[in-house]
A and B are shown apart, each in its own frame.
Chain A
Amino acid sequence: MTTADVYLQQVINGTSLGAMYALLALGFTLVYGILELINFSHFNVFMVGSFVGLGMLELFGVEPNAAALTGFALIGVLVATFAVTMLASGLLGVVIERVALRPLRNVKGPAAMITTIGVSYILFNLVLLGVGADAKNFPSPLPSISFAIGGAVLRLREILIWIASLLLMGGLTYFVQFTKMGKAMRATAQDPDAARMMGVEVDRVIIMAFFLGSALAGAGGLMFGLYYNLTSYVIGFTTGLRAFTAAVLGGIGNVPGAMVGGVLIGLIEAFGSYWISAAWADVIIFSILVLVLVFKPAGLFGRLAPNKS
């Protein structure tokens, strides 16, 4: 492998990881844009999503050593798995909002944030007690087709992640920019009181933000499994922190910023692991988080929502 090949490989790996981080970062950004709340439960909604995906694949009879699916069967299984995973994660997000966060909406101080930590911890431990501490094999329905581009390898799973995340992000952008609900969402992010007075049902907007963000996190969780071929109860934490960094890097509250930030973090992880060491990847990403927050708290692209106080 030439150096150029190695770099190309890092770009392939980094953009796939980055697409996943971007999906997760969108959930942080949607909720933060509207509620100014760092939603720590999002970390583990992502993790639960990957287990829902695992369950769906097993339900479809996809086993680690079973023959790969092809054609319509493959597409059908993928679409159904993504749909159910996203629906289930989205509903989980809505339940969290409704049960644990809405009663605290008008409480000042860190109460709501502390609650999201509690919820996150509950999900974490429920999964730990339910499925155990060992990492679980994540079967892939994808045939092991790969393309050689010079010395670099592009596998079907990366192509799948790219396509799926492009579709999802495109869908979200369309929703936020061009639908009535999306407009209500942007208005609420600017000024919830004014939006309410103009007839926006703020409760519905908030529920929608949680649903969409959590559904995207679920899709991200499923991609995590397909990418690494395993899942575990611990994945939410580090992945969540990286995705949060992505949201901050792109300017938290800023939807396109989260997407770009996600891809950037993915690339930084891939190249950082290559140049330095994978063991230090989190240290690098965390240092970026601190540097961005300290020197450019609005992120690379600024916040769309003004600073409500």
Chain B
Amino acid sequence: MTTASLMTVLHPPLTRGDRARRATVTLLTLVLIAFPFLGHAFQGLGFDLDIGDDDVDSVANALAYATLALGLNIVVGFAGLLDLGYAAFFAIGAYTYGIFTSFQIMPAWSPFWEPLAALGLVAKYHQAAGDLVHFTLSFWLALPIAAGITALCGVLFGTPTLRLRGDYLAIVTLGFGEIVPIVARNVPSVTNGAAGLNGVMAPTLFGFNFRVDPTPYYYVGVLLTAFLIFVSFRLRDSRIGRAWMAIREDETAAGAMGVDHVKTKLMAFAIGAAFAGMTGVFFVAKLQTATPDMFGFPVSVMILVMVVFGGMGSVWGVTLGAFVLSLLQSWFLPSLTQWAHGIGAAVNNDWLQHIDLARSTELIFGIILVVMMLFRREGLIPATRKQDALSFEAQNVAGVRRGGFDAETTRKVLGDMSHAPGKLLDVRGVTVKFGGLTALNKVDLVVPAGGVVAVIGPNGSGKSTLFNVITGLVPADSGSIQFDGAEILGLKSHEILQRGIARTFQNIRLFANLQVIDNIMIGQHARLKTGLLGAVLRGPGARREERAALSRTLDIVTLFGNRLAPRLTQVVSHLSYANRRRVEIARALATRPKLLLLDEPTAGMNPAETLELAEQIKTLHEQGLSVLIIEHKLDVVTRLADKVVVLDHGEKLTEGTPDAVRRNEDVLRAYLGRAATDAANAA
């Protein structure tokens, strides 16, 4: 089974529907471009579509909301961070442009301003009492500047708060969204307070001033939306996007797979904020005023409703959601009101004649939010499509493979495993306490380079805690852990992974709503370099890296024969239990580990599957990978381990070869109790 043939089989499911989608998008783009002229064009043909300036203006507003929804989608949809104060960033962007293009702040003129005046950033404002400075920041320059400032605010606000649990983050962002308008109201010297900024400059392009004509704004909105859709897709399908989704699915597992969550979350927050900042500039330039009331909680809720309605995490979904709900306000509800009045007049119903549905917009938004959550959480256009069952042909795309891994592919996957003999992992005197309970008491453990060490012990003896402390998920109270000659105790879990320790979890922690392929790609996160800019630009380097990562993913999958290969594009929560265990091992192998920690890898597997997995671990060992394994099945332990460490009540009872440990009386007592040992002795 070669990677190339695997790709040909997988190709249709990976790209199915692309042509139809491309056609739809092209058509929509054409309609959007032609829209402001459709009225005139059809009038010429004898139809009256009744598209006027106010309609162009409505769509321009819808475009502004679409850009906001796209930004919030990155924060809420991709990274899973519920931000209830998103409008705050919208406000910051808006005021940035507003303040630097209005007559709000006017310092006295001095020669200092001359060079800036030459650049067109300020103008001299003549007054009898002395000349003043009038800031005249160009709209086009303001877009990137506001994006930068809001991104910076996002980072400043996010640094302390993004460590919080998801629900606390929601309330803190809600407070932030509340505070920004209050500050705007309370510092009138900068913002003109509640009355708001007036006389904000309209954009000019090559000497043409936009003024209040909606059409040029409309086209700026189209371009901005298109740009942000493009950026959203590029980010989603990149190393960064995968890291966001990993964090959304399981933060702990993401950290253990090498994703730095603080940094990754900050990126989402900053990018989301930057989108809002640019939209703020656009919005204020269009309205030529900015007041604190434009950015309150209702705006944050409205954007959230748009994202939820369209489909959290779905780029087309949130764009559509923003369009539908924005036009609901400006088009559909007024029309419905008119009809209601008409019907009211016909049936002579006073209430119907005086109803005004546009006033109920926000009520409708609240109802949409609840109804969507109760009945269609995935939104109008779900981010993950429903999957068809595998065809018989697809199921057998890869050859059946039983027993160990193919040696050559294993070598390719593991890479250079040559190592100097000696201690790879050296745990010394590690103590972990949870309140009054000592989970580990001065535990020592050595994994020699290239060795397989098994940890056994009754439930509650501290085995998983040992794994957690090695991988940085639990802090130690004392002791030291050296890996490859360097201290790793105190490092964060993603840093420990970078050093070369990968793990699986006892209760399987995959990224449940992602595909097999994405799970394994996320495993490579720490070994790839593409950053935000690289992901958006997708230059030759980024492309090459992505291709190599994909090819490596396919190599890893081929190791498991037809177990995983046909299911590459399946969401992992749909897989069988044993296959989920295999994906977790595949994900760990993807991280290029030097040491692999397996926490009860065969739990819940039948004897045949257990044997298969034991053989596979043996192949990994033979090809030079060091393994530390927690296992209850003693035949597996005997088959694999060079050395067995026995834990009981958080202390190391003994260690030795599997045979020696088997005969050790203390071990028998810990496992079976005193009576059983006596019985064994008597027999």
Give A residues with C-beta under 8 Å from B: 36-38, 100, 103-104, 107, 109-115, 117-122, 124-126, 128-129, 237-238, 241, 244, 248, 277, 279-280, 282-283, 286, 289-290, 293-294, 297
Contact = CB atoms under 8 A, between A and B. Distances in A.
11 contacts: A38-B171, A110-B80, A115-B374, A117-B369, A120-B366, A122-B367, A124-B366, A125-B366, A241-B178, A277-B186, A282-B178
Interface string B340-374: 00000000000000000001101101111110011
Contacts of A119: 366, 370
Contacts of B164: 293-294, 297
A283 B179 contact: yes
A294 B304 CA distance: 25
Which 5 residue pairs spanning A and B have beta carbons closest together?
A118-B369, A121-B366, A125-B363, A122-B366, A118-B370
A121 B178 contact: no
Contact of A117 (B176, B178, B304, B367): B304
A114 B304 contact: yes
B171 A115 contact: no
Most buried by B among A104, A110, A118, A125: A118
B202 to A, nearest CB: 32
A114 B82 contact: yes
Contacts of B140: none
Contacts of A113: 82, 167, 170
B126 interface: no
Interface string B299-322: 001001000100000000000000
A294 B175 contact: no
A282 B182 contact: yes
Contacts of A244: 171
A161 to B, nearest CB: 25
A226 B628 CA distance: 67
Contacts of B370: 100, 115, 118-119, 122
A283 B183 CA distance: 8
A214 B677 CA distance: 60
A286 B221 CA distance: 35
Nearest to A28: B171
A112 B362 CA distance: 20
Nearest to B364: A125
B98 to A, nearest CB: 21
Contacts of A293: 161, 164, 168, 172
Contacts of B160: 290, 294
B167 A38 contact: yes
Nearest to B371: A118
B428 interface: no
Most buried by B among A100, A117, A125, A241: A117
B574 interface: no
A121 B377 contact: no
B174 interface: yes
B35 interface: no
B297 interface: yes
Most buried by A among B168, B304, B360: B168
Given A114-B82, A117-B369, A122-B366, A129 B360 contact: yes
A103 to B, nearest CB: 6
B171 A289 contact: yes
Given A103-B374, A118-B367, A118-B370, A241 B167 contact: no
Nearest to A123: B366
Contacts of A279: 182, 185-186
Nearest to A238: B178
A293 to B, nearest CB: 5
A280 B186 contact: yes
B163 interface: yes
Interface of A is mostly: helix
A236 to B, nearest CB: 11
A290 B174 CA distance: 11
B186 A237 contact: no
Given A124-B366, A282-B182, 18 more contacts: A38-B171, A109-B80, A111-B377, A112-B373, A113-B170, A115-B369, A118-B373, A121-B301, A121-B363, A125-B366, A129-B360, A241-B178, A244-B171, A248-B171, A280-B182, A286-B176, A286-B179, A293-B161
A112 B359 CA distance: 27
Interface of B: 80, 82, 84, 160-161, 163-168, 170-172, 174-176, 178-179, 182-183, 185-186, 297, 301, 304, 308, 359-360, 362-363, 365-370, 373-374, 377
B186 A121 contact: no
A63 to B, nearest CB: 29
Contacts of B183: 283
B377 A107 contact: yes
A114 B369 contact: yes
Nearest to B369: A118
A111 B170 contact: no
Given A111-B373, A125-B362, A297-B168, A286 B82 contact: no
Given A119-B366, A237-B297, A289-B172, A125 B167 contact: no
A92 to B, nearest CB: 15
Nearest to B367: A122
A100 B370 CA distance: 7
Contacts of A118: 366-370, 373
Contacts of B359: 129
A253 to B, nearest CB: 12
A121 B176 CA distance: 19
Nearest to A100: B370
Contacts of B178: 237-238, 241, 282, 286
Contacts of B186: 277, 279-280, 283
B171 A121 contact: no
A115 B179 contact: no
B137 to A, nearest CB: 28
B362 A121 contact: yes
Most buried by A among B166, B186, B360, B370: B370
Nearest to A96: B370
Nearest to A307: B165
A25 B186 CA distance: 28
A128 B362 CA distance: 10
Nearest to A110: B82
Contacts of A38: 167, 170-171
A231 to B, nearest CB: 19
Nearest to A283: B179
B558 to A, nearest CB: 33
Contacts of B377: 107, 111
Contacts of B165: 297
B244 to A, nearest CB: 15
Contacts of B366: 118-122, 124-125
Contacts of B168: 248, 293, 297
A200 B595 CA distance: 46
Contacts of A282: 178-179, 182
B308 to A, nearest CB: 6
Contacts of A238: 178
Contacts of A297: 164-165, 168
A244 B366 CA distance: 21
Nearest to A288: B175
A94 B164 CA distance: 29
Contacts of A111: 373, 377
Most buried by A among B164, B174, B178, B365: B174
A187 B167 CA distance: 23
Nearest to A37: B167
B84 to A, nearest CB: 7
Contacts of B171: 38, 241, 244, 248, 289
Contacts of B84: 117
A36 B186 CA distance: 35
Contact of A100 (B175, B308, B362, B374): B374
A100 B371 CA distance: 9
Given A107-B377, A113-B82, A129-B363, A289 B170 contact: no
Contacts of B163: 294
Contact of B363 (A100, A122, A277, A294): A122
